[in-house]
Amino acid sequence: MIAKSQGRLPTFLIAGAMRCGTTSLNGYLRQHPQVAMSATKEVHFFDHQFHRGLDWYRSQFTTDPAPQAVGEASPNYLFHAEALERIAQMLPDARLVIVLRNPIDRAYSHYWLDRSLGKVTVPFTDAIDTELAGERFTYVARGRYRQQMERLFTLVERSQVLVETFEEMVADPGSVFASVCRFIGVDDSVRPQILGESINAYTRYRSVRVRNLSKRLPRTARRAVGRLNQRAPARYAAMDPDTRERLASVFAEANAGIDDLLGRSLPAWG
């Protein structure tokens, strides 16, 4: 029997993909009166924190019975086969929201995030060469959407999955937000005050060491230090045209037939 003090398990998950606008969508949903998101955005229970157990996972969510939908956003789930298997087993009725993006742009955005965090120092082209040689990085692998979606559809019913795109969310955030609301069973007429704002765009840090040390602080202090440690939002350099063309070829093959798989048309990516 579940103790009354334990939080509710989520009714939906924003499960992917990384660098596709999931932080913005999470922020919009936090402003919906019928939705209760987890205390922190990326709980990572089904991939990195599974050893903590179900009681720990419940503790990340509200105990209030009023919200009609309870959710969390951990965009790494889609990429991790074991995470998807755990979700299917432990939350068999949960709805999964997937946001996809031009895989070339997703890869480049991911790379520059890693650069800002000090995780990579080599040029983007070198990182791609290294990954395609099978040595490290996941900039390309995470954009092989067809493979990931095929895996997901072997585990859950297609009716449990909603696929939106970053490009559509940028062009018409109200329409995409309403679609998500209908899918998770809440009022689709609500419009958050921050609707259309980009959250978690590429940020440069004054000190990566300070950022890493701040993770040990309480949440309020961590956020304060984070604000002081951030530089102005930055625009990264344009991708080398030859690299873009190369990736376009890689992803055209990797994602061939994905429209038929998803039962919907995706934007023209290239």
- Cα gap 107→19, rounded to integer Å: 8
How much is the pTM? 0.88
Burial class (CB in 10 A: 0-12, 13-18, 19+), 30: middle
What fold, for 12-202+235-262?
Rossmann fold (3.40.50)
Q: What is the pLDDT of residue 51?
A: 98
- Cross-strand bridge partners of residue 72: 13
Q: Tens-of-pLDDT digits for all 270 residues of the chain? A: 444 468 999 999 999 999 999 999 999 999 999 999 999 999 999 999 999 999 999 999 999 999 999 999 999 999 999 999 999 999 999 999 999 999 999 999 999 999 999 999 999 999 999 999 999 999 999 999 999 999 999 999 999 999 999 999 999 999 999 999 999 999 999 999 999 988 875 555 455 454 455 545 565 655 554 455 555 456 789 999 999 999 999 999 999 999 999 999 999 887
Q: What is the pLDDT of residue 211?
A: 46
Look up residue 129 and give its two tokens.
Answer: 């060469």
Q: What is the pLDDT of residue 249?
A: 97
Q: What is the DSSP letter of 230?
A: B
Amino acid at 228: L
Amino acid at 223: R
Q: What is the pLDDT of residue 53?
A: 97
